[in-house]
């Protein structure tokens, strides 16, 4: 078995497991780099050993790659060989014995309730694009949506009767989200007065449309949020994911159970959600240091 056969079979497996297109492409890019490196050493898949993977990782680090980049590339190699072992194409995963470098833990950027109110209420509701942006960002915060989940919403994703939003998350996993009243009002105004002004093709299913009537891209969402962040004079560094982080942090601060937050965020593992306990603890330490007379 050569590398072309191995990568082709792995890509078909990812498609069968409904991995996102972006994820598959990222694997392809990372594995392409590894295959190129292995080729210069005349290594085929069955001949790769853990010392080879360790040398590859060491070379990446020596070349200036960050710990996060090295860890991601090792995860791609590990994923490929996991598949090759499962499909009995090789006998062992040489990446299993190679530790990923520890990445610096970055706490998520979180907006205060007051900052979010200022940001969202600063968006006017006069033009179709303003109505769209207000509905889109209200919904993003109300439901803690990933950027890709926002742009993948369709017209029928929201049920006004049950007040629930159907969201298609990672791995094509669907979840139903309750929607807060401000987001409901903004969405209703957009559907009644804004969307039809943007729609060119009546067959277009996307909920949020560009000015040319097509489904928005993730970069469109990021760009429009940056515009309103500047208008509201909120600190820089706010991304669509900041709204998701703020959603989870505000729920935790309000007393929500971590398991419930996990379900609302669509996390497969509770360990992913636990980052918000560290965010909350960091805020408590800051408050203690600022206010306790003997801190």
Which residues are catalytically annotated? 146, 170, 241, 244, 267, 276
Query: How would you class 230 by CB atoms within 10 Å of its CB: exposed for 0-12, middle for 13-18, buried for 19 or more?
Result: exposed
Residues 6+ positions from 180 with CB-CB distance below 8 Å: 138, 142
CB 165 within 8 Å of CB 139 = yes
130 three-state secondary structure: helix
| Cα distances (angstroms) measured from residue 149 to each of 124, 171, 213 | 24, 12, 19
Please state, in angstroms and rounded to a whole number, the distance separating the CA atoms of residues 263 and 255: 15
Q: How far apart are CA 280 and CA 258, in angstroms?
A: 12
């Amino acid at each position: 078995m050569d590398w072309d056969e191995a990568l082709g079979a792995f890509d078909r497996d990812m498609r069968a497991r409904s991995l996102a297109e972006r994820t598959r492409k990222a694997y392809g890019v990372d594995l392409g780099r590894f295959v190129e490196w292995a080729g210069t050493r005349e290594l085929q898949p069955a001949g790769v050993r853990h010392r080879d993977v360790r040398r590859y990782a060491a070379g990446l680090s020596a070349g200036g790659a960050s710990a996060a980049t090295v860890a991601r590339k090792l995860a791609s190699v590990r994923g490929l060989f996991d598949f090759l072992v499962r499909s009995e194409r090789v006998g062992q995963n040489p990446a299993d014995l190679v530790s990923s470098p520890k990445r610096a833990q970055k706490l998520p950027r979180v907006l205060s309730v007051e900052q979010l109110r200022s940001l969202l209420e600063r968006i006017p509701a006069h033009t179709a694009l303003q109505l769209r942006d207000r509905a889109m960002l209200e919904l993003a915060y109300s439901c803690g949506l990933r950027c890709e989940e926002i742009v993948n919403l369709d017209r029928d994703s929201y049920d006004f009767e049950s007040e629930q939003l159907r969201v298609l998350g990672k791995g094509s996993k669907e979840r139903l989200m309750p929607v807060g009243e401000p987001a409901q009002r903004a969405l209703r105004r957009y559907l009644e007065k804004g969307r039809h002004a943007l729609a060119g093709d009546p067959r277009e299913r996307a909920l949020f449309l560009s000015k040319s009537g097509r489904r928005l891209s993730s970069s469109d969402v990021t760009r429009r949020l940056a515009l309103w962040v500047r208008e509201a004079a909120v600190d820089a560094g706010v991304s669509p994911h900041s709204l998701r982080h703020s959603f989870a942090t505000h729920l935790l601060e309000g007393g929500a159970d971590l398991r419930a937050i996990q379900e609302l965020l669509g996390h497969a593992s509770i360990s992913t959600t636990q980052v918000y306990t560290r965010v909350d603890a960091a805020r408590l330490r800051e408050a203690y240091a600022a206010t306790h007379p003997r801190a």
